[in-house]
Amino acid sequence: MNQTKQEYVFLNKGIGLRRLKGKSNDKTKIFFFPFVGGQSLSYKDVAKDLPENMEVLAIDYPGHGWVRGEYITDFDELVMLLYEELEEYFGDDFYFFGHSLGGLIAYRMVQYLERKNRGPQKVFISASPLPHRIEEYRYLADKSIEELVTVMSAFGGINPVLLENKAHLEYFAAPMKADIAVFLKTSVDMNLAVETPMYVFYSEGDSFVKYTDICEWGIYGQTVVFIKVKGEHIFIQTDYKEVTEHLNRLL
């Protein structure tokens, strides 16, 4: 990747990496992992006001965004692929941010990295369901794409107008179904609380992840800080300025 902003690179095996801000020679990097139905551009607003001397990189899973190829529907398979393809980009000073499904993936990546005595400076887990409570979301597997888009639009993640356009609906259908399959197969090592400092973003207005349960993320790390923000489940898009303010304080 050269030094132009918003550059996109296709990695091996269908992974996409988009630079939203910064330059390739910036020593500090932050990697953003998308939520169900999301893609690299889902983080463009958050990236705008992040530090100037930081390379901001957002990921596309296979079949998402500009990336073609087969969708992955298994959590462990996707995590291992991301780990193998992204490792060379990490450097010595990097951070992870993942929203919802992305937070679960980022967390599992940290577990793998710590086994090699590596790891990010911090990991930001945003509106992510508890790994040990995934079964509570099993109902998602039985919903039609119309129903899923309705749910996502209520969270602020998808424009409800999509329901009126069959072509747009079909565009979101396959990646969203694949992401839900990945989400429902979430698997982490429950016996390995990470050493990397964790910052857990949550909202009392989130109707997908109960804020009363969010404290249970405390068992997954040795240092866990909880940060309350405003908004529905996809507050990373609807209330991104507040998230960015916290990130600028913590990076």
Provide the 3-class DSSP secondary structure of residue 190. Answer: coil
* pLDDT the model gives residue 215: 94
Residue 1 lies in a domain: no
Mean pLDDT of 192-216: 94
Residue 3 has pLDDT above 80, yes or no: no
| Residue 2 domain-assigned (yes or no) | no
Residue 106 falls within a domain, yes or no? yes
Tens digits of residue pLDDT in 132-189: 999 999 999 988 877 887 777 767 666 666 667 777 777 778 888 899 999 999 999 9
* 45 in a structural domain: yes
pLDDT of residue 174: 83
Could you tell me the CATH number of the domain that includes residue 122? 3.40.50.1820
In a domain, 55, yes or no: yes
Decide if 3 is inside a domain.
Answer: no
* 151, part of any domain: yes
Domain that holds residue 109: 8-250
Cα-based torsion angle of the residue sequence 28, 122, 189, 184 in order, rounded to the nearest 10 degrees: -80
Total domains present in the chain: 1
Give the separation between CA 126 and CA 226, rounded to whole angstroms: 10
Residue 156, pLDDT score = 62
Taking all residues of the chain, what is their mean pLDDT, rounded to a whole number? 90
What confidence tens digit (pLDDT) does each residue in 107-127 have?
999 999 999 999 999 999 999
Can you give the pLDDT at residue 158?
63
37 belongs to a structural domain = yes
